[in-house]
Structure 1
Amino acid sequence: MHTTIAEPETTDVRVGRRPSLIREAGYTYFPIALIARLPFAMMVVGILTLVVSARDSLALGGATSAMTGLGTALIGPLLGAAADRFGQRRVLLVAGTVNSLLLAAMAWLAFSPAPDAALLGVAFLIGATMPQVAPLSRSRLVGIIGRAFPKDGRTKVVNGTMAYESAADEIAFVFGPVIVGLLATTMSPAAPVIGAALLALVFVTAFALHPTAATPAASREKGFAQAPARELFRARILAPVAGALGMGLFFGSMLTSLTAFMAERGAPEQAGLVYGAMGLGSAALALGVALFPARFTLTARWLTFATILVGGTIALPFVDSVAAIAVCLLVIGIGIGPTLVSQYSLAAAFSPRGRSATVMTMLGSAVIVGQSASSAITGVIADAAGSAVALYAPLAAALLVLGAGVAAAIASRR
């Protein structure tokens, strides 16, 4: 497989000592980076829960979530490009602070007499300033691997790192809604959004100030020639982005249709708790990807586990009990984690020189865009036709993930 994850001239391998990513990054890095993802995962779900509770409209809640995704789609990749050019620290500090203030404003606006348009406008700004912790963490770690590890050992370390990062994403994206459900149930509908604002203010700031963020941006290194922007639009980059979009579409449609399913049974606030069943197998399988043999290629893993994802979603429209839908979510979880790992690993391997943060942000933004758009569309479907019809939306998203995997396999061979 062609790889551009790091360049030999930047390698800094210590003689006589085997490098360790944990040691190179610092022992506090991984806990901080993990917790700093939670606001990212809680925002869309928290805003959806808040608006539905405050304005009593699933359609408006979905539209508000969609505006969050639109803001991320338009501005998120630009934040990644800014991090590539100016360094992560200053970009994260500005975005994280502004994002926290906007979340606090949303918590107040939802219950105020403000028009719906005000909610939509603030939601767009929340998406636009959303700190891209997960993709920037991947970019940061890939840079560390390039500097600290010998060339012949980087691929294995990168694959293991992408496995961990995807597992961390799973923990955030699956258990973020669980936290939202717990806070909304035990405190108030505004509590998840306020909690996300506080977490962002503390842990995103800590992530920005961590020593690993002090490394100069690649584009400012002496003699470094950043790849032209057109390299970002090759099929081997766009296929993983399309796959990430499909995963986001699945997350949003699954949670929204599940919310409608639980609402029909009188307990919409418990949707996040049931949704957590999906994370049990997903996070474990994402971590287990590092143990797969090399002959089980990234594209083969994507196709295999995307097929499991499709298989698990086929039964969704036909279930009629909470226990049955939880079983479906357990099966679906087996397919999610390894698929995400494969998408990010392929994107890391084919990232153009000096564009790692941009590529990772493109994938991260695609997940949020998909989640937000499908939340809006599925909310309208659920309002009009009920949860039984809305539960077909996750199947459509899963088929897109599988189709993108086929495209990735073709692009990788070329």
Structure 2
Amino acid sequence: MSSPYRAIFAAPGARSFSAAGLLARMPLSMMGIGIVTMTSEITGEYGLAGALSAALALATAAMGPQVSRLVDRYGQRRVLRPATLFSVAATACLLLGARLRWPHWTLFVLVLGVGAVPSVGAMVRARWAALYRDSPHHLHTAYSAESVIDELVFIAGPVLAIGLSTGWFPEAGPLLAGVFLLLGVFWLTAQRATEPPPSGTAHGGGGSALRSGGLRVLVGTSVALGALFGSIEVVTVAFAEELGHKALSSVVLAVWALGSCIAGTVFGLLRPKGEPARRWLVGVCVMAVSMIPLQLVGNLPSLTVALFFAGLAIAPTMVTTMALVERHVPRANLTEGMTWTSTGMAVGAALGSSLAGAVVDASGAGTGYAVPGVAGALAAVGAFLGYRRLRSARERVSRRTGTSVPRPRGGSGAHDGDTSKGTNHGVGEDERVA
């Protein structure tokens, strides 16, 4: 492991809470596709399977920020455990209902309960933010590591979910996802030393994180980027099927994620200079431009190459997005703010996948790549329009809060072994994230 990553994981508890976050995040990539596979295997109704998956995505998008807002106010342990138990119980009932062929409306009610799953990625990033509040370079590396973990989850999760549900028994995929969630969240919340203190006892926050103009810009752009991600997945499967190699679509999409993994790993080794908002704008624009080659591909090898290079822009842009959230959102709403960007992507992915499916049905898979192309263009336009607000919003947030990211329980700030950084407790808002 390269030295910047070794340094961040040297902090007491860092390896443990990151590993717990990895386990608890597996349902993010397993539950939706697991429910689709389970439902189609049991009932043969792909329409019902897709509708349940869409309902899950919307439920998660609606409830995720609310769960995170409660976490900011009351703490991770007090909120995540009951929320997880509720979600896992709903999952168990959903599996039973699918097996016993309960009425369809009951399945939709149950899948809404499954959507109460907490945004574990935001919880882990909040711990990193509390741990390295005074060490922006180490926080940058930590966010990069988490972005790579996200990509690994999306590489391994669908393979596990589909393989178990088709090779063992239909409910196996979502069942394992529920087990991962339960074990991961309880492992994470057992680690009290690195848990950020709740705002209700430390800062007395209040109000929604969306009051931040900068966050609204990030969330709006995240919707467009989510549409880009969701549509690419649907169109790539259809494109591979048209060429007679549907099974290879998972390999092509894995190469796309691999490109993001590599870029995220390298990005974490760097110490970016200059304005983060500018880097974010450039990243969004590069993602938009990377959609152009997809309009020209005619076979799977060329598509694989195009998606690999398109993936290189993803992780750096997502890392910078989280850094901007940490910079612009009041400290008492940090977890909620991070969750809102994920929510925006989830909503966008649902819209993008639906639109892409309609375009593919009407005009074929080749035409379908126009959907991520348009989504990328919309993201770039939104980034340009919101750039000035993103730059100025940080100053208003700094004046409004005047506080630092809360230290973890029992923590002592940065554990990087570099006393030349992270010791200036008077660092201004503009200097906290490189």
Tell me the TM-score normalised to structure 1 length.
0.83
Which of 178, 181, 193 pairs up with 2:159? 178
Q: Does 1:282 align with 2:263?
A: no
- Cα deviation per residue 1:108-156 (whole Å; 9 max; x = unaligned)? 44455334433333322222x112100111112212223xxxx4xx322
Determine the C-alpha separation between the residues in 2 that align with 1:253 and 1:186: 27
- Cα deviation per residue 1:43-74 (whole Å; 9 max; x = unaligned)? 22322333444444554433322211221222
Which of 112, 118, 122 pairs up with 1:131? 118
Q: Does 1:386 align with 2:364?
A: yes
Deviation at 1:93, TM superposition (A): 1.1
3-state SS, counterpart of residue 83 of structure 1: helix
Which of 327, 343, 347 pairs up with 2:305? 327
Deviation at 1:209, TM superposition (A): 1.8
Q: 1:20 to 1:254 in 2, by over 3 A?
A: closer
Deviation at 1:199, TM superposition (A): 1.2
Letter in 1 for 2:119: Q
In the other structure, the counterpart of 1:161 is 142
In the other structure, the counterpart of 1:191 is 172
**Gaps in structure 1 of 5+ consecutive residues:** 1-18
Deviation at 1:79, TM superposition (A): 0.3
In the other structure, the counterpart of 1:362 is 340
Q: 1:195 to 1:285 in 2, by over 3 A?
A: same
- Cα deviation per residue 1:183-225 (whole Å; 9 max; x = unaligned)? 355445543212211211222221222234655312212xx34
Letter in 2 for 1:327: V
- Cα deviation per residue 1:198-255 (whole Å; 9 max; x = unaligned)? 211222221222234655312212xx342x4266323211112223323322222222
Q: 1:305 to 1:172 in 2, by over 3 A?
A: same
Q: How does 1:267-346 map to 2 (within 5 A)?
A: 268=246, 271-346=249-324
Q: Does 1:76 align with 2:64?
A: yes
Deviation at 1:266, TM superposition (A): 5.3
Determine the C-alpha separation between the residues in 1 that align with 2:12 and 2:384: 36
Question: Does structure 2 retain, via aligned residues, the 8 Å contact 1:76–1:365?
Answer: yes
Determine the C-alpha separation between the residues in 2 that align with 1:120 and 1:297: 45
Q: 1:401 to 1:277 in 2, by over 3 A?
A: same
Q: 1:54 to 1:243 in 2, by over 3 A?
A: farther
Q: How does 1:192-271 map to 2 (within 5 A)?
A: 192-212=173-193, 214-221=195-202, 224-226=203-205, 228-229=206-207, 232-265=210-243, 268=246, 271=249
Deviation at 1:82, TM superposition (A): 0.5
Letter in 1 for 2:76: Q
Deviation at 1:31, TM superposition (A): 1.7
Letter in 2 for 1:280: L
Question: Does structure 1 retain, via aligned residues, the 8 Å contact 2:36–2:52?
Answer: yes
Determine the C-alpha separation between the residues in 2 that align with 1:379 and 1:335: 25
Aligned residues with identical type, % of pairs: 25
Alpha-carbon RMSD across the aligned residues, in angstroms, is 2.7
Determine the C-alpha separation between the residues in 2 that align with 1:392 and 1:57: 28
Q: 1:342 to 1:403 in 2, by over 3 A?
A: farther
**Gaps in structure 2 of 5+ consecutive residues:** 1-6, 393-434
In the other structure, the counterpart of 1:88 is 76
In the other structure, the counterpart of 1:24 is 12
Determine the C-alpha separation between the residues in 2 that align with 1:121 and 1:179: 26
Determine the C-alpha separation between the residues in 1 that align with 2:273 and 2:391: 15
3-state SS, counterpart of residue 354 of structure 1: helix
In the other structure, the counterpart of 2:349 is 371
3-state SS, counterpart of residue 216 of structure 1: coil
Tell me the TM-score normalised to structure 2 length.
0.79
Once structures 1 and 2 are overlaid, which stretch shifts more, 376-385 or 95-104?
376-385
Q: 1:209 to 1:179 in 2, by over 3 A?
A: same
Deviation at 1:396, TM superposition (A): 2.5
Determine the C-alpha separation between the residues in 2 that align with 1:362 and 1:87: 18
Once structures 1 and 2 are overlaid, which stretch shifts more, 60-69 or 20-29?
20-29
Letter in 2 for 1:32: A
Determine the C-alpha separation between the residues in 1 that align with 2:245 and 2:114: 28
Letter in 1 for 2:389: A
In the other structure, the counterpart of 1:104 is 92
